[in-house]
Amino acid sequence: MALTVPSIAGFTFPLGKWFSVQLYGQDAIEWRVSSGCRLPPGVSLTFDGVLSGVCAHAGAWGISIDVNSLDAVINVKFPLSFFKSPNVSSIIKKAKIDTQYWTVLFSDAIISANSSAPLAGSLRYGDVVTFDLTFFNGNQLIFPFLSSIRLGVKGIDTEPLFFETSLLNYRRVMGFEGDGYAFKYYLNVGIRGDSLKNYLNDFELDTGTHVNCICFFEFNFAQNKYAERICSELFFVNVIRDTIV
């Protein structure tokens, strides 16, 4: 069998957190850092292709690795970057994005006969939630190269938005999927803000407050395959807050 190594678009990991990723190459027997390349401080590569460590220095490094078989050598280059992690969320909401119509489907969504937009479950005011997004074109799993994802939230009859996440809330991470490397997409969102709090005040009840908010994702493409910027179809999130005593 011939030595083959899937192309690697890059890896991104949280700063100061342990990570480990197994690099893959068919018929590969040894992995070595190329001459002249230095791994980030705290990061190492084993001979069998495990890249791991804890990096305390934020930034991006250009990595060059020589992959050896019995009779061939392939050089692989990719960026390796580390970022300061936002608040870690214990609340994960998985969503599927159909790029044919840019619809959003949550595993816990409720479809109402009175609304064309799905209700994507409930979140409590003050929660920090991580949206774990997967992209499809029809039934085909795809991995678009997105430079950013934002979430916009507003009231049913209000303008402007209560809040819109910044570029710092989005993380694109490379992982191994099936026969090669693929992107994973995460968006960290804090359900808070003065405008949203004031909106909840308008619906305050003795037993607590809950109100539906309109949400959408905005996708920005690094490669202009579809368009520079596309917004998803709308969906609702029910925001809950305990009674203020």
Where are the domains positioned within the chain? 11-83, 91-241
Lowest average pLDDT, out of 34-48, 80-94, 130-144, goes to 80-94
Mean pLDDT value across the chain: 81
The CATH homologous superfamily for domain 11-83 is: Immunoglobulins (2.60.40.10)
- The DSSP symbol for 152 reads E
DSSP letter string, 177-244: ETTEEEEEEEEEEE---HHHHHHHHTT--TT-EEEEEEEEEEEEESS-SS-SEEEPPPEEEEEEEPPP
Given a cut of 70, whether residue 63 has pLDDT beyond it is: yes
Asked if the domains at 11-83 and 91-241 fall in one CATH topology, the answer is yes
Kindly indicate the confidence band of residue 88, based on its pLDDT and cuts at 50, 70 and 90. Answer: very low
Lowest average pLDDT, out of 8-12, 183-187, 192-196, 224-228, goes to 224-228
pLDDT in tens, 120-143: 778 888 888 888 898 999 888 888
Tokens in use for 225?
A: 């395959």
Say how far apart CA 173 and CA 182 lie, in whole Å: 8
pLDDT in tens, 98-111: 999 999 988 765 55
Asked if residue 168 lies in contact with residue 236, where contact means CB atoms within 8 angstroms, the answer is no
Lowest average pLDDT, out of 5-14, 168-177, 215-224, goes to 168-177
Say how far apart CA 56 and CA 16 lie, in whole Å: 5
Query: What pLDDT, on the 0 to 100 scale, is given for residue 32?
Result: 94
* Nearest of 84, 101, 78 to residue 183 by alpha carbon: 78
pLDDT in tens, 11-41: 878 788 888 888 888 888 899 999 989 999 9
CATH code for 91-241? 2.60.40
Query: What pLDDT, on the 0 to 100 scale, is given for residue 227?
Result: 54
Work out whether strand 146-154 and strand 163-164 pair parallel, antiparallel, or are unpaired. antiparallel
**Distance between start and end Cα atoms, the chain:** 71
Query: What pLDDT, on the 0 to 100 scale, is given for residue 244?
Result: 53
